[in-house]
Amino acid sequence: MVNGLPAVTALLPALLFAATGLTLLLVDTIRPDARSNTSMAVVGAIGSLAALAASVWLTASGAVNPDSGAVLLFADAIKVDTMALFFTAIFASVTALVLVAAHDYFHDHDNPAAFYSLVTFAATGMAILAVANSLAVVFVALEMVSLPSYVLVAYLKQNRGSVEAGLKYFLVGALSSAIFLFGISLVYAATGSLILSDIASASIEGLTGVLGVGIVMMIGGVAFKTASVPFHFWAPEAYEGAPAPVSAFLSSASKAAGFVVAFRVFTEAFPIEMAVAANIDWMLAFAILAAVTMTLGNFAAAVQEEVKRMLAYSSIGHAGYALIGVAALTVDGPANGTVMGAAMAHLLVYGFMNTGAFLFVAMAERWGVGRTFADYAGLWRRAPVASVAMAVFMFSLAGLPPFAGFFSKYFLFQAAIDNGFLWLAGLGAINSVVSLYYYSRVVKALFLDDPASPSALDAIDVRPTALYAAVVFAAVATVLLLPGFGPVIETAEAAASALF
């Protein structure tokens, strides 16, 4: 650490999240009145912005730098490097947006207080997941993310859809957690270690089969968290039934948390050379998952009639794109760092555009205009600013050039091609074309279609300020990340290259 600060300073973002969560509980205890909704939202937003600032500061000040400056703590169980900070920045941005938006979404909820602390505690788990350097920490952190998420999905406990979604999410989640944990135990059995770098250097003479099964099971755990095939079934149900801010949080931040596990654990614990030598080709497994996931997500999204469900499938599709970051890797591949860095940058951009899109749905739910494409017809006339923001999200998710989603997707594909994965990039491009169809349906409904009846727009009777602010901020970020893409991709590329 620079500046003579103690090494634990590197954990500042995670500590800030935890402190925020505790403060929220405290605020709820001191002021359990109706007005606490506002104070909770303010405290939560300030806390997550502080965590964001801390991770940006740690990266920018060089306290943790990609070449040598990874900070190891607690007997190597924690490793803070640029990649961890990069992901923490994603989690913090999404959390801040979601907490601000929740202020208006839960304005008439009986007990909004628990929501804020649950989100913050889940974010704490994500921040720890990002720095986990031991499989034990990975698992604990993963559960720290999952448990609050189950509750959040079922947060509208009077709403049957929400409760059903929560149960489905919980059942699939419990199953995949068990599989993941079993995988960890097999890896431990084969290598005798839980610290990632020790696993990599352990001798696996004669135990290759055990290690292989362990790795496959761990892939299953990752697939659940990232909502990838074959553990994607929960995602459309959970995202659709959950309150929209929770869907935003799960599909952006929680998904990114799954990817940080994939990116770090697989490259550090099972280095590519070793995997190829031992014939445990997890890259190939991820390549197949990526191909199937993006295709399934995009084609399923194309036939949806409800916007939220379409976004849920599109979120699966984007998991497929991001999986390219762990799929298009080869031994001594010239672009290994670039492809993973591009996937990280894509997740960052995706964090803003996808959160924004779900928050627009949150706004529509707040207005009560309905759920289908047809219900969104002509919203532009009454809510021009929010509709323009939604158009930005849709075009950016589709990867159209004037927005940041274009760059992040393009560089991902370019790096995959540079690494020899032309087929994966080509499939991604085809899927992007498909996605333009269903994303543009939203834009068409908002701007070109006429509302079903002149009174259909009367539902839009309020201007939820905080929701508006969150949506507009996400849109501005989606646009500004295009000119500002340089530092993002360069940081991500450097962070990812440090793993190889």
Partner 1 sequence: MILEALMAAAFVGALTVFLAPDEWAGRLAFAISLIPFAGSLSLWSGFEAGGNALLGGEIAYATRIEWLEVGGRSVSWFVGLDGISLPLFVLTTFLVPLAILSAWTPVDTRQSQFYGLMLFMEANLLGVFAALDFFLWFVFWEAVLVPMYFLIGIWGGPRRKYAAIKFFVYTNAASLLMFIGFMSLVFALGDSVSSFALPEIAQAIAAGDLSAWFGIPPDRIAMVAFLAMFLGFAVKVPIVPFHTWLPDAHVQAPTPASVLLAGVLLKMGTYALLRFNFTMLPEQASILAVPIAAVAVVSVIYGAMLALAQKDLKRIVAYSSVSSMGYVILGLIVFTEYGIGGATFQMVAHGLISGLMFMAVGVIYNATHTRMVGDMAGMADRMPVTVGILVAGAFGYMGLPLMAGFAGEFFIFVGSLSAPALPYAPAFTALAMFGIVIVAGYLLSAMQSTLFGPFELETDYDVGPAAFHDVAPLAVLLAAIIVLGVAPDIFFEMIRDAALPVVEGVTVDG
Residues that bind partner 1 (CB under 8 A): 335, 338, 342, 384, 395, 400-402, 406-407, 411, 414-415, 417-418, 422, 429, 433, 436, 440, 444, 447-449, 482-483, 485-487, 489-490, 493
Residues 6+ apart with CB under 8 A from 189: 207, 210, 214
Cα angle value 404/60/354 (rounded, 5°)? 30
The number of angstroms, rounded, from the C-alpha of 292 to the middle of its chain's C-alpha atoms is 19
**Least Å from the CB of residue 409 to partner 1:** 12
Minimum CB–partner distance for residue 2 and partner 1 (Å):
26
CA distance 45 to 22: 14
Q: Which is nearer to partner 1, 263 or 439 (CB)?
A: 439
Is beta strand 71-73 parallel, antiparallel or unpaired with respect to 78-80? antiparallel
Residues 6+ away with beta carbon under 8 Å from 484: none
Contact 63, 2 (CB under 8 A): yes
Q: Which of 496, 487, 498, 485 is nearest to 338 (CA)?
A: 496
**Measuring CA to CA, which residue among 446, 456, 298, 313 is closest to residue 373?**
446
Cβ count within 10 A of residue 461: 9
Minimum separation from the CB atom of position 497 to partner 1 (A) = 11
Q: Minimal distance in Å, beta carbon 367 to partner 1? A: 21
Q: Report the nearest approach of partner 1 to the CB of residue 444 (Å).
A: 7
Q: Rank residues 458 and 490 by Cβ distance to partner 1 and give the closer one.
A: 490
Which of 436/459 has CB closer to partner 1? 436
Nearer to partner 1, 76 or 449 (CB): 449
User: Closest distance between partner 1 and the C-beta of residue 92, in Å?
Assistant: 23
Q: Which is nearer to partner 1, 53 or 436 (CB)?
A: 436
Select 152 or 397, whichever has its Cβ closest to partner 1: 397
Q: Cα 42 from chain centroid? A: 23
Q: How far is the CA of 500 from the CAs of 307, 333, 392, in angstroms?
A: 40, 10, 35
Question: Which of residues 136 and 422 has its CB atom nearest to partner 1 in the complex?
Answer: 422
Minimum distance from CB of 352 to partner 1 (Å)? 18
